[in-house]
Chain A
Amino acid sequence: MGRALVSARGVAELAARPDTVPRSRAPRLRVLGVVILSALLWAIAAQFPALETGSVQRLPFGAWMNSALHEILDCTIAEGVSVRQLFRALVPLLIAPVQLLDSVFATGFVSGSGDAAVQRLPPLSWVGLAVALGAGAWRLGGPGSAVWALLTYFYLQVFGIWPDSVETLAQMALAVPISVLLGFSAGVFLHRHPRVRPPALTLLDQAQTVPLFAYLVPLVLLLGLGIAPAVCAVVIFAMPPMVRTTLLSLDQSEARFGELASAIGCTARQRLWKVLVPTAAPLLRLGLNQVILLAFSSAVLASLVGASGLGNDVLVALQQLAIGRGLVAGLAITALAICLDKVLQGWTEGRGRLRSWPAWLFWPLLVVLPVVLTLLEQWCPLLAHFPAVLTVRTTTPVDDVVGWLVTKLYEPIAGLQWVLATYLFFPWKHVVTHLPWSLAALAAAGAGWRRGGLGHAVFLGAPVVLMALAGIWPQAQQTIYLTTAGSALALLFGMPVGIVAARVPGFGRIALATVDTLQTLPPFIYLIPVVMLLGSGDIPSIIAVALFAVCPAVRYTEAAIRTVPSELLEAGLQIGCTPSQLILKIALPVSRQQILLGVSQTLLMALSMVVVTALIGTTDLGQMTLTAVSQADTGMAAVAGLAIAALGTIADRLVRG
């Protein structure tokens, strides 16, 4: 009876939803009109090189950027203090805590210099550390976290990468809280000042898509080498999702509980801390999760500016084609990220406190026992070093497997590659590389116009014009070709997986875990096997882009389908929909906005990958950034990086309309 009622309501709702009702004919005519007009313009533009490739006039944007950078760095803020000096003064604040952690957990305290140096205090004994880690993780995140923490710890010890892991962990222990605090504050600020939102959110998109290489040199000039610029790079990359989730969750809470808070007479502070934040907690936790995953996934970036740790291990191993060794270090990064995520999520949910340990047991386990065990090292050397019998130093089995795959799988894969390239990717490339910039600029401006009038039209159209003026439109075309092809592939695989994951819980858990792993694993690790199988060129780049961009495709689709009200689906069943109709006619249209957000995120991820695929050998904006930076042309690198980000903004607006 109740069920039927629910369904009846669902059917009514279904009928009332505008997005499930077949659309009228008028928009179709308009689409046709746009297509015909575009084709006409294309044909006209193709007659004039200036409108097609923009090769007439090249403006020296790179040189302008270079001089602007040095102007800013040497600009004096107060008497005798330049911007550069101000930033340098902050460096010790960042370095000191990291070095302290490193000394306690891995290297010990040393005094003296050179070979005369003496270790005054050893690092904590490995047994003591295991106990302390287990106890700490249990107390914060509950027993599940403790098991994860210990498993991860022994994995790191067995493969002998504990010292490197400590360096990475110490950097993250600084970068994650900074990202969360800054991101949360920025989110609250934007929540209170809606006017600043559009430019601020655009800036955030840029922070995630501008490749690190584009601002690598300014970063080194400002902050020197090592931990400080590394932490800064990680924060730039990992903070944006925290801002977005904070803003979104506060807005949602405001809508639901805002009036209540006003009615009971809350002050601004009470309103935020007593009403909005507690009710926004679940989404805020998602923000924390994304910050952690992104921060660890950028561990490799940190090693480019002088911070050692697991990221550097990955780079060095792959340079020597030791894929097994790279994989061990890469998985360590993933394991640490998942571990930290579990502990912190458990802590924010208060899972550990439920089984709160008595203080007389906890503190001795966390602090006293490790110190005592460390002191006992003098008489019991077993406590000082992880037993060598338990360690694994060879990773040749992995390399053997890769070698086997590379030789045995080559024939069928080469055939498949030929078919895909000849009938799919190369024709698409032909289209995109003949796309006139003038038409692209018009399209971008048109999308802006529809969304927000003249201002938006200029905002979206101008970057394309600037790219043509800077003479980088051909590289932009390559970028568009690679990212659209890669995203299409990612969506083709990711969306069905996401749909099934949302409908079948068991499969969903496995799929999401795989996606998380793929997202934190440094892309370099699967890049090299892909290159070994497919060689240089477009196809391996497209595959690599797709592997990375498949993560948001799965995640957002899964989340979107899961939020479809169950009444709607039951109603669909009642009126006799087949399972495929349920998905195609009800679930997808209802969750259209969220799915489109997923598509846009997939495109953004794909764009953020172009600088990585440039390492395989492409001829796009990513390659330009990489080449410019290695020729010390900071300005050009920045221009190419900004162009990538601009393409991201345009893609986002085009998709989400």
Chain B
Amino acid sequence: MRAPLSRLLILGAAIFAVCPAGTGFALPAGDSTKPITLNVADWTGSHITTTIVAKLLGKIGDNVITVPLDGAAVFPALENGDLLAAVEVWSSSQSTAIAAALATGRVNKLGDTGLIGRDRWWYPDYVKAQCPGLPDWHALDHCAKLFATLQTGNKGQLLLYPASWGGHDDERVKSLGLNFQVVRTGSEAALLAQVKAAYLRHQPILAWLYEPHWAPQRFHGEYVQLPAYTDACYSSGRFDCEKPSGPIVKLGFVGLAAVYPHATKLLEQFTLNNAEYDAMVGAVDVDGKSVDAVASEWIEQHKDRWSPWVAP
């Protein structure tokens, strides 16, 4: 019984060995046949941008593997070359990690995505009736009680993203003299779940939301108007102003260009804008279309934009 089995194994190994060798001839621009690993983060936008890039890379004959990856693993994986490129990295929340990764000399910036991230304080429409004076931030202090919860007592609750997202909101609340207590959720899902629940119940809620994102599209509301951002406001350590907006960038492993010159060119040129990103995220999360369909649609409609990117 042993002999035929081992012969089968050898045959199988031979097929595996021959297959990739036989397909090498189809390559146009000298990219390696090994698949390029890209990461998808757990938000919808990341799925869309990465899918579009993967489809475009397919057009130049490259294989792509997309892997779901926790945010914490993205940077070590990039530095190690396990992950070859990250298409959507938010400098608004991850500036420290980006700087550290670039400083290692093992990660390159592949340019901006053209998208700008903005972090602001948000409240639903119906709160305006209960708290006249909004969206100006001065109004918040008088209605702090509206936003109070069991955990915050008499103070209003300001619901924030995880501590690792930064934002200096503790200092901001203190400098502005607001009678609010900062409460941090441990994950995006937990924050959005509370926003949705409050929205369903018509309860007042004040939370940090950001754009481009589906939540401000699905839930009707407004942003608090804080004093405009200045460098001085941040360098003084008072943070009594808006958060600065941050470009969303693309990062790649240093070894990428040597093995995938054509793909690197494409990745460097790829850009989107906030309006179309918003529309696509809305199509998936609000209208319920599939990520794949939305990405294909964008590619069909914007041939003029991506044809120079894929040109050899």
Q: Which single member of B43, B61, B66, B201 contacts A410 (CB below 8 Å)?
A: B201
The 6 closest A-B pairs by CB, nearest first: A306-B67, A114-B61, A532-B197, A630-B164, A304-B70, A537-B151
Q: Is B190 an interface residue (CB 8 A)?
A: yes
Q: Is B307 an interface residue (CB 8 A)?
A: no
Contact in complex: B71, A630 (CB < 8 Å): yes
Q: Is B58 an interface residue (CB 8 A)?
A: yes
Query: What is the chain A residue whose CB lies nearest that of B187?
Result: A615
**In the docked arrangement, what's the CA distance between A414 and B201, Å?**
13
Contacts of B70 in A (CB 8 A): 216, 304-305
Name which of B63, B69, B190, B288 has the most chain A CB atoms within 10 A of its CB: B190
**In the docked arrangement, what's the CA distance between A629 and B192, Å?**
22
Contact in complex: B192, A114 (CB < 8 Å): no
Contact in complex: B190, A316 (CB < 8 Å): no
**In the docked arrangement, what's the CA distance between A213 and B71, Å?**
11
Query: What is the chain B residue whose CB lies nearest that of A634?
Result: B76
0/1 string, B185-198, CB within 8 A of A gives 1 = 11111101110110
**In the docked arrangement, what's the CA distance between A113 and B65, Å?**
12
Q: How far is the CB of B58 from chain A (nearest CB, A)?
A: 4
Contacts of B77 in A (CB 8 A): 220, 224-225, 306
Q: Given A111-B23, A535-B149, A632-B100, answer yes or no on A306-B201 (Cβ-Cβ < 8 Å).
A: no
Contact in complex: A114, B60 (CB < 8 Å): yes
Q: Is A297 an interface residue (CB 8 A)?
A: no
Contact in complex: A407, B194 (CB < 8 Å): no
Contact in complex: B73, A220 (CB < 8 Å): yes
Contact in complex: A315, B68 (CB < 8 Å): yes
Name which of B47, B68, B77 has the most chain A CB atoms within 10 A of its CB: B68
Q: How far is the CB of B49 from chain A (nearest CB, A)?
A: 15
Query: What is the chain A residue whose CB lies nearest that of B163?
Result: A627
**In the docked arrangement, what's the CA distance between A626 and B163, Å?**
10
Q: Which bracket fits the contact residues of A?
A: 35 or more
Q: Which bracket fits the contact residues of B?
A: 35 or more
Q: How far is the CB of A634 from chain B (nearest CB, A)?
A: 8
Taking A626-B162, A632-B100 as known contacts, 15 extra A-B pairs with beta carbons closer than 8 A to each other, sorted by chain A number, are: A112-B26, A113-B63, A114-B60, A216-B70, A220-B82, A225-B37, A225-B73, A304-B69, A305-B70, A407-B200, A410-B197, A532-B197, A615-B189, A617-B190, A627-B162
Contact in complex: B59, A306 (CB < 8 Å): no
Contact in complex: A531, B82 (CB < 8 Å): no
Q: Is B208 an interface residue (CB 8 A)?
A: no
Q: How far is the CB of B151 from chain A (nearest CB, A)?
A: 4
Q: Which single member of B23, B42, B69 contacts A225 (CB below 8 Å)?
A: B69
- Chain A interface SS verdict (over half): helix
Contact in complex: B200, A536 (CB < 8 Å): no
Name which of A304, A407, A531, A535 has the most chain B CB atoms within 10 A of its CB: A535
0/1 string, A114-149, CB within 8 A of B gives 1 = 111100000000000000000000000000000000
Q: Is A623 an interface residue (CB 8 A)?
A: yes
Q: Which single member of A221, A307, A531 contacts B67 (CB below 8 Å)?
A: A307
Contacts of B311 in A (CB 8 A): none
Q: Is A406 an interface residue (CB 8 A)?
A: yes
Contact in complex: A217, B186 (CB < 8 Å): no
Q: Given A112-B23, A226-B67, A421-B150, answer yes or no on A616-B44 (Cβ-Cβ < 8 Å).
A: no
Chain B interface (Cβ within 8 Å of chain A)? 19-20, 22-23, 26-27, 33, 35, 37, 39, 42-44, 47, 57-63, 65-73, 75-77, 80, 82-83, 96-97, 100, 149-151, 159, 162-164, 183-190, 192-194, 196-197, 200-201, 214, 285, 288
A-B residue pairs in contact (CB < 8 Å), sample of 11: A111-B20, A225-B73, A320-B44, A418-B150, A529-B193, A535-B150, A537-B150, A538-B151, A539-B150, A617-B190, A626-B162
Contact in complex: B83, A225 (CB < 8 Å): yes
Contact in complex: A113, B190 (CB < 8 Å): no
Q: Given A305-B69, A321-B192, A631-B96, answer yes or no on A113-B197 (Cβ-Cβ < 8 Å).
A: no
Q: Given A113-B26, A114-B57, A304-B69, answer yes or no on A532-B164 (Cβ-Cβ < 8 Å).
A: no
Within 8 A of B (CB), among A298-320: 303-308, 312, 315-316, 318-320
Contact in complex: B194, A531 (CB < 8 Å): yes
Query: What is the chain B residue whose CB lies nearest that of A227?
Result: B67
Contact in complex: A221, B76 (CB < 8 Å): yes
Contact in complex: B151, A536 (CB < 8 Å): yes
0/1 string, A267-278, CB within 8 A of B gives 1 = 000000000000
Q: How far is the CB of A101 from chain B (nearest CB, A)?
A: 14
Contact in complex: B189, A528 (CB < 8 Å): yes
**In the docked arrangement, what's the CA distance between A171 and B220, Å?**
42
Contact in complex: A618, B186 (CB < 8 Å): yes
Contact in complex: B185, A319 (CB < 8 Å): no
Q: Given A225-B37, A225-B67, A321-B193, answer yes or no on A406-B201 (Cβ-Cβ < 8 Å).
A: yes
Q: Is A381 an interface residue (CB 8 A)?
A: no
Q: Given A115-B58, A226-B67, answer yes or no on A630-B72 (Cβ-Cβ < 8 Å).
A: yes
Contact in complex: A537, B73 (CB < 8 Å): no
Contacts of A312 in B (CB 8 A): 68
Query: What is the chain A residue whose CB lies nearest that of B47?
Result: A316
Q: Given A115-B58, A225-B73, A306-B69, answer yes or no on A532-B42 (Cβ-Cβ < 8 Å).
A: no
Q: Which single member of A320, A406, A615, A631 contacts B190 (CB below 8 Å)?
A: A615
Contacts of B59 in A (CB 8 A): 114-115
Within 8 A of B (CB), among A541-555: none
**In the docked arrangement, what's the CA distance between A538 and B186, Å?**
12
Contact in complex: B192, A316 (CB < 8 Å): no
**In the docked arrangement, what's the CA distance between A221 and B185, Å?**
29
Q: How far is the CB of A376 from chain B (nearest CB, A)?
A: 24
